[in-house]
């Protein structure tokens, strides 16, 4: 009872003091509460609680991070930011409003009160964050995670490698033992915004070993033109032409730099309102966009996909009650660009080939443009000494029909004394129906002289009469249907693929149908099909039915959540028939933790008999390890892998069990074992550092730490927008000191004054005095010297402090 009474008295006293401080506007605070130079000033309750100066702070507008900026604080509590940073706040302003107040002393700085009202600003000194609140109508809309280029982080200098080491081996009853080692290294070295990249691999078995390089180039992003340039050994990347290895340079547009509303196809919504009107856009009878407009023309170019592929409906509801509805085609418009947007790429150099085009010069270019909501045009060209090709294509959005993609490609190969000229036509149609049915049809036709760049490079093979089957494609047809059934019944799919050739009457065909569903967490899949193909290598073999193969297959898989001896996992079962062979399997899968999982499997195949095996995966702080073992009646197979990332920079050597190409170093000094964004496989090491290898370039990435440590993390949420391929660095403000609470009084028994600040011998702040002589100290260890300062003239010292009993504070 006495304890409760004491607590009640203390609480009432604290409230009384707080009310008194609030009641007298000119009552001065104890300057000991302030940090740095602020502690030497007599601060009143009407003044801004931060010392004048220039600070680096995070600025939020309506709770949205707008970047880290320089903030200049004046003595009268005025906040100013650099003029060039105003646009980054995305607040609509009157350009002349702050220009009228310019003086020769502040031309480079703008008073935030010229943009927003004083009560719209709130500075959080504990985490150096400025919150700005404005009406939503004053916000300049952007994609949620897109950041303007001036806020993109180029990163720091560093060296890294993504590695994957795979070992496999086996013992077989009727043959020699086998073992293979495969090591892949995807490495890089960053200096500012220049990135050197190397992709190589090493392979070894019982008879041979080799080290090969896939690509090695120097890359630099150029945000001014939304592109990237590469110089070195690389591969061309194209949706229309073959990919070939070359040595030279490339300049390609990087659509990822642009806001999603630009690079992701959606129609531009435009029309004319006869009166004040409400414009609505509907998809699947749901409103996905709504806006009030005045009389006259309107246009909205920032709609984003909803996940549906149905056509859109534009509804204009005029104030006089009239309504107009227009269908806007959209379904399956994957090959289209937004109206007015472009994409392009240029490659130039020499072929990296060991065949006909060895070291031949070449140039390749492609350009595509969204003409309007309905039409996208594509053109491309390849020019080399012995090979030329030109291409023109269209993506056409046809109302009620879907997206129609067409292309015409012309080739000319100078492989013999006569030029070989060929043509190829491709047509594809994509349509999504309101019945939740998606249909894709694609067809192509090539004349006998059409030849791709890769085929022309190895022309000696394809000119020969001995080999020609796979080179002489004549026509092809691809049909795919996906049908979503009513809720609870799953989905159906069916496909057909057929290819005809010039040098044989036979056609390769493949048919398949499938049904999948989930009920009460039990999932299953049923598939069946037929394959008709040949693996012939010569012209004569193509004429022989002996090598023409037909295979029917069917399979059923089942997955059921299960609990065995307190372990929650999944039981999986499957059965399949392929040709004359059949198999059945039963397995158990368990996720023990976020870092460790395993499965066990028993399999019975008509050809090999019964086999059993297991697999595990473990993500350590350094690497992800896997292992597998299978024991059959006639063989034993085993394998192991290790993969991850190693990065070296000015912040030391860091590792990650995951791989990626865009890195962020998290640094929270003294905070060990903190999970990054709740990911159990990425957490800070003993020094408080962690490596995140999979940031999203050109977009705002948010990071927070989950820590059970008693240490303080000030401003736990950090945001950064990294360059593509960069190594960014994010540092948290942490306080790893311990908190001590002890009682102190003057020699006459009176408690120390409430609010007094505490300092060590060197003048570093330790804490403050609370009610009733209770003092709070933050330090690595309990100090043997504590200075309590009440004002500029009065102070006292506690020597050899103890946690139990009273500590005497002797006046100086």
User: Could you report the per-residue pLDDT of 403-453, keeping only the tens digit for each?
Assistant: 899 999 999 988 777 788 999 999 999 888 888 888 989 999 999 889 888
- CA–CA separation, 554 vs 530, rounded Å? 9
- CA–CA separation, 354 vs 244, rounded Å? 12
What are the pLDDT digits (tens) for 265-279? 667 777 777 777 788
- CB 86, CB 80: distance < 8 Å: no
Burial (Cβ within 10 Å: 0-12, 13-18, ≥19) of residue 686: exposed
φ, ψ for residue 112, nearest 5 deg: -60, -25
Average pLDDT over all residues of the chain: 81
For residue 105, what pLDDT is reported?
A: 42
For residue 548, what pLDDT is reported?
A: 54
202-211, 406-415, 463-472, 707-716, range with the lowest pLDDT: 463-472
Nearest to 666 by CA among 640, 693, 642, 628: 693
For residue 356, what pLDDT is reported?
A: 64
Question: Please, which residues have CB within 8 angstroms of residue 389's CB and are 6 or more apart in sequence?
Answer: 241, 380, 381, 382, 409, 410, 411, 412, 453
Band (pLDDT 50/70/90 cuts) for residue 49 is low
Q: Does 72 score more than 60 pLDDT?
A: yes
Tell me the Cα Rg of the chain: 35
Structure tokens at 401: 């029909």
First to last CA, the chain: 40
- CB 65, CB 700: distance < 8 Å: yes
What are the pLDDT digits (tens) for 595-645? 899 999 898 888 778 889 899 999 998 999 999 999 988 888 898 999 999
For residue 608, what pLDDT is reported?
A: 78
For residue 9, what pLDDT is reported?
A: 34
**Pairing of β 717-722 and β 152-153:** parallel
For residue 709, what pLDDT is reported?
A: 64
Question: Please, which residues have CB within 8 angstroms of residue 769's CB and are 6 or more apart in sequence?
Answer: 744, 752, 753, 754, 755, 756, 757, 758, 775, 788
Question: Please, which residues have CB within 8 angstroms of residue 655's CB and are 6 or more apart in sequence?
Answer: 621, 622, 623, 644, 645, 646, 647, 691
Which residue has 């609870």 as its token pair? Answer: 488
- CB 112, CB 89: distance < 8 Å: no
For residue 664, what pLDDT is reported?
A: 96
Q: Which of 69-78, 209-218, 764-773 has the highest mean pLDDT?
A: 209-218
- CA–CA separation, 559 vs 591, rounded Å? 15
What are the pLDDT digits (tens) for 539-592? 555 454 444 567 888 999 999 998 887 788 899 999 988 878 888 999 999 988
- The secondary structure of 625-639 as a DSSP string is EEEEEEE-SSEEEEE
Q: What is the pTM of this model?
A: 0.74
**Pairing of β 663-667 and β 727-731:** parallel
376-385, 452-461, 578-587, range with the lowest pLDDT: 452-461
Percentage of the chain exceeding pLDDT 90: 33
- CB 647, CB 160: distance < 8 Å: yes
């Amino acid at each position: 009872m006495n304890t409760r009474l004491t607590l009640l008295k203390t609480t009432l006293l604290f409230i009384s003091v707080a009310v008194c401080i609030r009641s007298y506007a000119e009552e001065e605070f104890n300057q000991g509460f302030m940090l740095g130079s602020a502690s030497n000033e007599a601060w009143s309750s009407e003044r801004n609680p931060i010392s004048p100066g220039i600070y680096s702070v995070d600025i939020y507008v309506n709770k949205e991070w707008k970047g880290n900026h320089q903030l200049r604080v004046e003595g009268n509590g005025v906040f100013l930011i650099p003029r060039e940073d105003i646009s980054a706040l995305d607040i609509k302003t009157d350009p002349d409003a702050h220009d009228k107040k310019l003086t020769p002393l502040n031309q480079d700085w703008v008073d935030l009160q010229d943009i927003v009202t004083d009560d719209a600003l709130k500075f959080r000194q504990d985490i150096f964050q400025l919150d700005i609140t404005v009406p939503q109508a004053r916000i300049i809309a952007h994609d949620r995670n897109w950041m303007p280029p001036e806020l993109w982080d180029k990163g720091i200098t560093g060296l890294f490698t993504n590695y994957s080491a795979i070992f496999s081996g086996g013992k077989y009853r009727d043959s020699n033992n086998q073992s293979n080692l495969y090591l892949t290294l995807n490495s890089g070295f960053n200096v500012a915004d220049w990135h050197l990249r190397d992709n190589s691999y090493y392979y070894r078995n019982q008879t041979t070993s080799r080290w090969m390089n896939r690509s090695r180039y120097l890359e630099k992003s150029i945000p001014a033109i939304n592109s990237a340039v590469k110089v070195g050994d690389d591969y061309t990347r194209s949706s229309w032409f073959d990919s070939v290895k070359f040595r030279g340079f490339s300049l390609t547009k990087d659509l990822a730099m642009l806001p999603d509303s630009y690079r992701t196809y959606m129609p531009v919504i435009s029309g004319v309102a006869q009166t004040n009107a409400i414009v609505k856009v509907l998809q699947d009878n749901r409103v996905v966009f709504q806006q009030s407009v005045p009389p006259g023309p309107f246009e909205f170019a920032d709609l984003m996909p909803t996940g549906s592929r149905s056509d859109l409906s534009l509804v204009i509801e005029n104030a006089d009650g009239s309504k107009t509805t227009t269908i806007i085609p959209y379904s399956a418009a994957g090959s289209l660009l937004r109206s007015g947007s472009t994409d392009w790429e240029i490659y130039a150099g020499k072929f990296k080939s060991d065949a006909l085009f060895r070291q031949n010069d070449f140039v390749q270019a492609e350009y595509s443009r969204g003409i309007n909501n309905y039409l996208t045009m594509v053109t491309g060209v390849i020019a080399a000494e012995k090979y030329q090709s030109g291409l023109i294509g269209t993506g056409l959005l046809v109302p009620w029909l879907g997206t129609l993609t067409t292309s015409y490609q012309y080739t000319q190969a100078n492989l013999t004394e006569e030029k070989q000229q060929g043509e190829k036509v491709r047509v594809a149609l994509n349509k999504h129906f309101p019945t939740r049915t998606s249909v894709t049809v694609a067809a192509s036709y090539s004349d006998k002289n059409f030849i791709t760049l890769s085929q022309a490079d190895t022309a000696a093979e394809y000119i020969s009469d001995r080999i020609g089957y796979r080179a002489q494609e004549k026509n092809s047809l691809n049909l795919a249907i996906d049908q979503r059934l009513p809720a609870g019944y799953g989905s159906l799919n069916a496909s057909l693929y057929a290819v005809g050739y010039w040098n044989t009457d036979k056609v390769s065909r493949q048919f398949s149908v499938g049904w999948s569903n989930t009920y009460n967490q039990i999932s299953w899949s049923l598939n069946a099909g037929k394959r008709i193909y040949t693996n012939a290598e010569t012209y004569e073999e193509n004429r022989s039915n002996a090598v023409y193969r037909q295979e029917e297959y069917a399979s059923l898989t089942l997955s059921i959540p299960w609990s065995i001896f307190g372990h929650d996992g999944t039981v999986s079962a499957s059965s399949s028939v392929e040709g004359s062979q059949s198999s059945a399997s039963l397995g158990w899968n368990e996720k023990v933790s976020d870092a460790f999982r395993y499965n066990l499997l028993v399999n019975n195949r008509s050809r090999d008999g019964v086999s059993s095996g297991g697999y595990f995966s473990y993500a350590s702080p350094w690497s992800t390890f896997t292992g597998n073992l299978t024991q059959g009646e006639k063989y034993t197979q085993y394998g192991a892998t290790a993969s991850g990332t190693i990065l070296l920079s000015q912040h030391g050597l860091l590792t990650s069990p995951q791989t990626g190409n865009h890195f962020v170093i998290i640094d929270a000094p003294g905070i060990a074992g903190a999970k990054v964004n709740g990911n159990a496989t990425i957490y800070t090491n003993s020094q408080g550092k962690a490596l995140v290898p999979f940031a999203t370039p050109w977009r705002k990435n948010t990071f927070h730490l989950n820590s059970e440590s008693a240490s303080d993390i000030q401003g736990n949420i950090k945001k950064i927008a990294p360059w593509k391929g960069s190594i960014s660095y994010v540092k948290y403000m942490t306080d790893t000191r311990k908190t001590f609470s002890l009682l102190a009084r003057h020699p006459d028994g009176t408690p120390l004054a409430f609010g007094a600040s505490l300092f060590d011998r060197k003048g570093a702040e330790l804490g403050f005095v609370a009610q009733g002589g209770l003092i709070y100290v933050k330090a690595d260890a309990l100090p043997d010297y504590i200075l309590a300062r009440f004002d500029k003239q009065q102070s006292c010292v506690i020597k050899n402090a103890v946690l139990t009993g009273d500590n005497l504070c002797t006046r100086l």
